[in-house]
Chains A and B, each alone.
Chain A
């Protein structure tokens, strides 16, 4: 019995309810084995601009470090093959249960449904828990059960519903399984494959350099590409 956790837009170990459920399940069944996997859809990823590619890779790298290098990154050619490839790899690891945070945007709702079906065909269960939000979409409702279309009453009701306290995780309570047989589609994209920035800086005007007070105080904004390291 092996449990897997499928990371997507929830790159963290703490206050991750779905991950906590995966770890608890691996402890309960006695195996204490968890496969942590994240998937890169290459057809989408290689269309992104360089900075965005780098920031995703750095976020996954940070997640991998927090798992002591035990994150498995699976590269799939496109969305159509995503579910098939992911379920193939996981069932080859004798995974019987997969956990993930439930998505609510239409593209990922469809994908999670397809992954659930592909896993079910191999006898593997997919459990979708929690959300990326304090109050999951669909919960805040008018008294008549319909959704709010105006923000302010939504906010008041959202605040009243409240949210769970953060859950904490002891990552060393389980063994994080690294897929050792590298089938060529595993691992983070190498830096050489990432796009270079499209931005061509414009030369600063000479008159700027001639001024005595060339330096002006500037409160720097955080460089997004490195902010999450």
Chain B
């Protein structure tokens, strides 16, 4: 716990507390944990994460419809994709076959272990909403079915934070770049290699951009579902439409 502040965002290390399941099932009460904390910088960051859990429970208590609906109503009128292509893209996201290694590693970690690193949850959520133009509720439902640490308030409001429609949320125009996020929080590519078997033979950080390598290097890995920079522009254009 003494390096929690420095390591909690690293997807390739075991730097998070792994207490989320125990908290979700109530095997431990947050009071019990708070009592043990010192005021060191690392443990203060952990305390702030406990407080985020409490903040979201408070927001949900005051806004019960935000369990499944947009807290910021104007995002409801945004253009989202529907239809066959959208369904196929949602399915590829669920199965970890988007062609973006960091996104796919996260989604497969969820399928394999029932848990996903917190930083990677933000990356896959941003991808669903801003690269695939799907509604956050579709992702939140999948998380609910799969996450062993599922918590109703943290799930809905974690998603709404990323989707830009929550309270004190990340602004919508902040679109996570799945490659840069991968290079930053999985700098050697170990996290991707662990969960994406088709890329396990690619050394080092190059695993985050397999399309830069000769085609035969990863023949079984899916091609990119969408082009990130194109979809980033598209989602910013859609944001403009609801900002009167």
Contact = CB atoms under 8 A, between A and B. Distances in A.
Interface in A110-168: 131-135, 137-138, 140, 147-151, 154-155, 158-159, 163-166
A185 B109 CA distance: 34
A138 B31 contact: no
A51 B190 contact: no
Interface of B: 12-14, 18, 21-32, 34-35, 48, 50-55, 57-62, 64-65, 67, 108-109, 111-115, 117, 145-150, 152-153, 167-168, 190, 193-194, 196-201, 218, 220
Contacts of A51: 113-114, 146, 148
The 8 closest A-B pairs by CB, nearest first: A51-B114, A137-B61, A10-B26, A202-B197, A106-B64, A55-B148, A207-B201, A208-B201
6 contacts: A48-B146, A52-B114, A148-B58, A166-B31, A166-B32, A202-B220
Chain A: number of interface residues, binned into ranges: 35 or more
B21 A55 contact: yes
A207 B220 CA distance: 13
A219 interface: yes
Identify which of A135, A150, A205 gathers the most chain B CB atoms within 10 Å of its CB.
A205
A224 B48 CA distance: 23
A62 interface: yes
Contacts of A101: 26
Contacts of B109: 221
A222 B194 CA distance: 14
B28 A227 contact: no
Contacts of B149: 224
A222 B167 CA distance: 31
A158 B34 CA distance: 12
Contacts of B167: 149-150
A16 to B, nearest CB: 7
A199 B111 contact: yes
A171 to B, nearest CB: 15
Nearest to B62: A147
A221 B18 contact: yes
A9 B28 CA distance: 10
Nearest to A110: B64
A203 interface: yes
B114 A9 contact: no
Nearest to A63: B27
A205 B114 contact: no
A12 interface: yes
A222 B18 CA distance: 7
Given A16-B29, A133-B57, A219 B13 contact: yes
A197 interface: yes
Contacts of A212: none
Interface in A1-36: 8-12, 14-16
